[in-house]
A and B are shown apart, each in its own frame.
Chain A
Amino acid sequence: MGKTLAEKILSLKAGADAKSGDIVIANVDLVFLQDTTGPLVIKQFKESGLAAIAEPKKAAIFLDHAAPSPAQQISNDHVLLRHFARETNCHIYEVGNGICHQLVAEHFAKPGNIIVGADSHTVTAGGLCAFATGMGSTDIAIAMALGKTWFRVPETFLINLSGSFPKGVYAKDLILSLIGQLGTDGATYKALEFGGESLARLTMSERLTIANMVVEAGAKVGLFPSDEVTQSFLSAQGRGDGYKPLYPDADANYERIMSLNLASLEPMVSFPHTVDNVRPVSEAKGVKVQQVFIGTCTNGRLEDLALAANILKGKKRYSDTRLLVAPASQQVLLQAVEKGYIHSLVESGAVILPPGCAACLGLHQGVLADREACLSTANRNFKGRMGNPEAMIYLASPATAAASAIKGEITDPREVM
């Protein structure tokens, strides 16, 4: 019997013939933490009695969730994390460098890697064919100390993609639509593997957007095969030597096979307060939004800012709608400046926030008021997520977000393109 991508990667790394349902122990290629889960990682690391990080160059700390720090307690946490990095000689990415998952994609993830992070959206690196999954602080502390961790090899759902996106429809609409079909726990403990004839046309940015959100259906990983798209992304990042092709076997065993025709999709909106509460944008027509947020590890990449800038160019945001834009990394910000996207966005009335998580998790930079609504390009719309349980969060693509910023209400991007 052949292997799925998840079985293949875990077999290679564990040196075993791993089948879904097995428990394996495997070395990790990268273990990382961020500023809100990190302090507990360090506490647990110290408590474990294990003296040092197994391989400091395979460990990284990202100061991204509350960066720059909005509160003295978090500033103290940042100091703790900086000290730890200095003591252990692991990597540290500073305030303003960007969101951990974007930086992992830019600088670390390679096909066939195993990556564990103290953040649920660690799955993002699955776009690069890395078996990447989120864990809690204790698991991460021990993975750091031992250089390995344990996994249950997941069963896999194959998502067969066919056709091309129609105008105004993007990777975000695809993954929202899929989560709507699966439900918030439809893929709990499973791997989602993407295949089909559309793959070759999906850019790395789109793959990262899709992989990023598989956890919203409960999945453990979201894996794309490693192909020419992977190779050209790695080369462009100066990491071409990390490339290797990686595909599932033709006779792999899937628990479930689903088909999705991209041509049949339309712009989608996730309504409050669960991500699977997904409806076509037409059903959200007229919903007033006081804030539009474009950014996050889901949709803060260059392609996303380009899309928004092209729609907003020469236009103004609606007077009563704030428009916040946070590039996912410093590299994204620099490229967006060079290409003129930042210029168009600022002229349209956008506030540019520093690369990082920004308004996504309700700590700072865009906390909503009571009864306000926000259209966000993020991955979660849980009650209270943006800092106020009395607020409403809608999720959509950067194009829908830009169109909605112009009209002040949720708008089909095809109306303004």
Chain B
Amino acid sequence: MPETVLKGKAIKLGDDISTDDIIPGRFAHLRSNLPELSKHTFEDLIPNFGSRVNQGNFLVAGKNFGSGSSREHAPLVIKMSGIAAILAKSAARIFFRNAINQGLPVLLCDTAQINDGDELEIALTEGVITNLTSNARLTSTKMPSLMFAILKEGGLIPYIKKHKDFEL
């Protein structure tokens, strides 16, 4: 995690976005070809997602983001699209762990207070989100410290390369 303060625009999504919405199962044959696979990110849900998103944007979703399958390709293709963090009311357990393992921050907070296109500033260490458009401040739920340590290293692989083991 090179940056601890992120600044960017919100792309607002709804509730219950599943891993099949993020990257449909029918593209499983492309999973060993990530650049090809990532062209289909959100294909059924958000037409032209690829051209809508800019480097550093945030996905802002409702409840239960990333429900469904354990495919880590879901947070992977989101990260590849340039999304810098995900904010959600709640996130499915496996997706949450996968995103952190890929070094992609997920913050759980009251996303109803964020509108599409709002400018946000996220202080990751404090877990505080400032909505620069509305001037509202949101605090996200604290993640376990081991998880934060993994995020800080940029994901589980860099974490393990450095520590060789989990450290409580």
Listed in ascending order, the chain A residues whose CB lies under 8 Å from chain B are: 23, 25, 36-37, 39-40, 44, 47-50, 65-66, 70-71, 73-74, 76-77, 80, 117-120, 122, 134-139, 142, 145-146, 148-150, 152, 184-185, 188-189, 218, 220, 274, 361-363, 367, 380, 382-385, 387-389
Contact = CB atoms under 8 A, between A and B. Distances in A.
Given A44-B157, A136-B97, A382-B21, 12 more contacts: A40-B73, A74-B28, A77-B31, A120-B94, A136-B94, A138-B98, A146-B165, A185-B90, A363-B26, A367-B26, A382-B20, A384-B21
A383 B25 CA distance: 11
Nearest to B74: A136
A318 to B, nearest CB: 27
B67 interface: yes
B94 A138 contact: no
18 contacts: A25-B166, A49-B161, A50-B160, A71-B29, A118-B70, A120-B70, A135-B98, A136-B97, A137-B98, A149-B166, A184-B64, A188-B92, A218-B93, A380-B20, A384-B44, A387-B25, A387-B26, A389-B24
A129 to B, nearest CB: 20
Contacts of A363: 25-26, 28-29
Contacts of B26: 362-363, 367, 384, 387-388
Contacts of B31: 36, 39-40, 77
A389 B94 CA distance: 23
A138 B69 contact: no
Nearest to B73: A40
B44 A184 contact: no
> Which 9 residue pairs of A and B lie closest in terms of their CB atoms, listed nearest first?
A136-B98, A136-B72, A185-B64, A389-B44, A138-B101, A71-B29, A73-B29, A361-B25, A382-B20
Contacts of A148: 166
Contact of A384 (B25, B71, B94, B161): B25
Nearest to A119: B70
Contact of A362 (B21, B25, B92): B25
Contacts of B157: 44, 47-48, 138
Interface residues of B, number: 44
Contacts of B92: 185, 188, 218
Interface string B90-115: 10111001100110000000000000
Contacts of A149: 166
A323 B94 CA distance: 33
B32 interface: yes
Nearest to A41: B72
Contacts of A218: 64, 67, 92-93
Contact of A66 (B20, B28, B72, B97): B28
B132 interface: no
B5 interface: no
A76 B30 CA distance: 11
A115 to B, nearest CB: 13
A23 B144 contact: yes
Contacts of A80: 32
A185 B67 contact: yes
Contacts of A76: 32
A142 B70 contact: no
A135 B97 contact: yes
A50 B160 CA distance: 9
B54 interface: no
Interface in B70-87: 70-73, 75
B155 interface: yes
Contact of B94 (A23, A135, A184, A382): A135
B125 interface: no
B152 to A, nearest CB: 15
A188 B160 contact: no
Nearest to A77: B32
A77 B153 CA distance: 30
Nearest to A149: B166
A72 to B, nearest CB: 8
A358 B16 CA distance: 25
A341 B51 CA distance: 52
A136 B68 contact: no
A119 B24 CA distance: 15
B14 to A, nearest CB: 12
B9 interface: no
A142 B156 contact: yes
Interface in B139-168: 144-146, 155-157, 160-161, 164-166, 168
A326 to B, nearest CB: 16
A11 to B, nearest CB: 15
A73 B67 CA distance: 26
Contacts of A117: 70
* Residue among A40, A70, A73, A120 having the largest count of chain B Cβ atoms under 10 Å: A120
B130 interface: no
A415 B16 CA distance: 35
Contact of B72 (A49, A138, A184, A367): A138
Interface in B44-66: 44, 63-64
A37 B70 contact: yes
A108 to B, nearest CB: 18
Given A136-B101, A274-B16, A383-B21, A150 B146 contact: yes
A53 B2 CA distance: 31
A13 to B, nearest CB: 14
